[in-house]
């Protein structure tokens, strides 16, 4: 699933490519992607003749603000891709769910093989009542916390660190890849309890969140073996080649040369260095 860095890369791409563009037409291939709307016509009418005026992000959600006080909300789900096509004659890829055609030319296409992603239009006021957006925690890029406030919130939760980092109600946007990379950068094990950290460890964790996310964005995100994540132009990210622990079981740690360990954590795997993380 795309995490915060991948979604932020796409947000920045969209900011360059679609702001100021007017929507001429919308084609929907399957209702599942627009499941919050009663039918395809309802979704289409909410978008046609609207101009995109701004692009923002809330956690893993993209929000395209439209004139007329409405917004198109997009969640990529497990396998969703947003692709900018300059030509309307470009072949339609398999699993294309929605195509947005611009008056000025070109298209924005939503491709989603597993169909867990979605798109829906709501009023700007209505954004505040979207349940998934209401319960998101702080955004580490848009609203970074002071380490003192961060320490207080960590101490209040009293749960294992990886669970907490992946809890969208605590911090928005992190998933399996970046929680592992952040914990390695901070020198902390995935199963340390959040209320056991010293002041120095809290500072390290706070700094690691910022540094890992910023590096991942510079590298245009992570594209794994399934190649499901690509940017707006169909290009893969490169952060996976710089990962320190994620998906590196048995390989030597770049700090201490101890083999990286893969462990079962809940219903997923986690990777860590048993020497560098405590």
Length of the chain in terms of residues written:
278
Residue from 60, 65, 192, 204 carrying the catalytic annotation: 60
Alpha carbon distance 229, 237 (integer Å): 8
Residue from 2, 5, 113, 140 carrying the catalytic annotation: 2
Active site residue 60: yes
Alpha carbon distance 261, 245 (integer Å): 8
Those residues with Cβ within 8 angstroms of residue 83's Cβ, 6 or more apart along the chain or in another chain: 93, 108, 109, 110, 111, 230, 232, 233, 234
Active site residue 109: no
Task: Compute the C-alpha angle 79/55/127, nearest 5°.
Answer: 85
Residue from 3, 6, 17, 201 carrying the catalytic annotation: 3
Active site residue 268: yes
Alpha carbon distance 66, 87 (integer Å): 23
Structural contact between residues 223 and 79, judged by C-beta atoms closer than 8 angstroms:
no
**Number of neighbouring beta carbons within 10 Å of residue 249:** 13
Cite the active site residues: 2-3, 60, 268
């Amino acid at each position: 699933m795309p995490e915060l860095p991948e979604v932020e890369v796409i947000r920045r791409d969209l900011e360059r490519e679609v702001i100021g563009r007017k929507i001429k037409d919308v084609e929907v291939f399957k209702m599942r992607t627009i499941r919050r709307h009663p039918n395809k016509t309802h979704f289409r009418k909410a978008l046609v003749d609207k101009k995109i005026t701004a692009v923002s992000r809330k956690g893993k959600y993209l929000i395209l603000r439209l004139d007329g006080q409405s917004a198109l909300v997009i969640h990529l789900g497990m396998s969703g891709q947003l692709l900018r096509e300059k030509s309307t004659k470009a072949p339609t890829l398999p699993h294309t769910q929605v195509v947005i055609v611009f008056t000025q030319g070109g298209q924005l296409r939503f491709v989603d093989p597993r169909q867990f992603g979605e798109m829906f239009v709501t009023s700007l006021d209505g954004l505040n009542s979207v349940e998934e957006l209401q319960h998101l925690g702080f955004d580490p890029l848009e609203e970074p916390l002071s380490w003192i406030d961060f320490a207080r919130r960590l101490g209040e939760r009293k749960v294992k660190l990886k669970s907490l980092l992946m809890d969208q109600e605590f911090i928005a946007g992190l998933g399996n890849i970046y929680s592992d990379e952040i914990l390695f950068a901070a020198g902390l094990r995935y199963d340390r309890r959040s209320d056991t950290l010293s002041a120095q460890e809290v500072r390290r964790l706070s700094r690691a969140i910022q540094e890992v996310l910023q590096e991942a964005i510079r590298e245009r995100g992570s594209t794994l073996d399934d190649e499901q994540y690509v940017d707006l132009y169909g290009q893969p990210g490169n952060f996976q080649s710089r990962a320190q622990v994620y998906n590196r079981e048995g390989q030597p740690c770049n700090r201490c040369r101890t083999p990286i360990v893969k462990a079962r954590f809940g219903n997923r795997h986690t990777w860590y260095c048993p020497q560098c993380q405590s």
